[in-house]
Each structure stands twice: as C-alpha cells, then as structure tokens.
Amino acid sequence: MIRGLDNFVKRLGSDVRVQDFIAHRIQGSGGPGGSDSSHWKDSLLHFGPHSARCRDALAYLTSLLSNTLTDWNLIYALLTNRLIALDKNPGICPIGIGETLRRIMCKTICLVTRDNVEEVCGSDQLCAGTQCAIEGAVHAMNDLFDENE
C-alpha cells in the first residue's frame, strides 16, 4: 500500500492547499454530464460547509476507487467519454472528452502520491514532471514487456 493513502480522505478534506491547488488546476468544458470546471470549482470551494461535505464525499470516492476493485456498473457514468473528431491532415484523430470530476480525481491522486512515486521509481520513472512524455513512456513500457517475453 502506498504510504499516505490511508490518510487521503482526511488530507483532502482539511488541507486547503490541496483543495485550492486541484480546483485551480482544472480547466475546460464539461464532459458528457455537462458540468464544466467552473461549476466544480464553485461547488468544491465557495459554499462553506456544503462544499466541505462535497469535498469529503469526493475524497472518499477517490480513495475507494484507488484502493478497491469496483463493479463496472457503479462507475460506468464516471468513465464515460464524449468523442469528437479533430481534422488532422491527413486523416481524423478521435479525442475523448471525459468527465471533469474524473479529471479532478486523477489530479488529486497524482498530487497526493507524487513524492511516493518518485521515491519508489527513482530513475525508472517514465514521465513524472515531464511535459509531453506520454509517447516515450508508451515506447519504454513496450520495450520492457518485449524484454520479459
């Protein structure tokens, strides 16, 4: 188990720095549910005790999804994407727009576990702190899988 995740709910619910950091880092339009980043920012920060309850519920859900196997039927709506097509000459590139809530949860997990991941992975980390390194990470993982076969 990653150190610190047992305190995850308490940390997100009470640490104002984490809340502000996540709320201010999320941007963009809404996914299939229609709630955009400004809606979630308002909901999580600007309604006093109601926002605190919403943050606690979100922290609990994030912790639950991070640490347990969850039935697909329970999280189907959260993982749904809206597909759009981008015209890339030549051809078309499909892009999936996910729920803003899912992006908030993912950024929170990255923020909370970043130090642990850097410590555990050391020099083998694939793209921690590097912009646009996803393609290199995919190639590195493919090479590792090919070596093990």
Tens digit of pLDDT at every position of the chain (149 positions) = 344 444 555 555 455 566 666 666 777 777 777 777 788 888 888 888 888 888 888 888 888 888 888 888 888 888 888 778 888 888 888 777 788 888 888 888 877 777 777 676 665 555 555 555 566 666 677 777 777 66
Measured CA to CA, the distance from residue 79 to residue 32 in angstroms comes to 10
Backbone angles phi, psi at 18, to 5 degrees: -65, -45
Six-digit token string for 149:
């076969």
Tell me, what's the pLDDT at 144? Answer: 74
Tell me, what's the pLDDT at 8? Answer: 52
Going by C-beta distance under 8 Å and a sequence separation of 6 or more, which residues neighbour residue 112? 4, 5, 8, 11, 12, 18
Tell me, what's the pLDDT at 5? Answer: 45
Six-digit token string for 7:
């305190």
Question: What pTM does this model have?
Answer: 0.62
Measured CA to CA, the distance from residue 139 to residue 117 in angstroms comes to 20
Rg value, the chain, Cα:
18
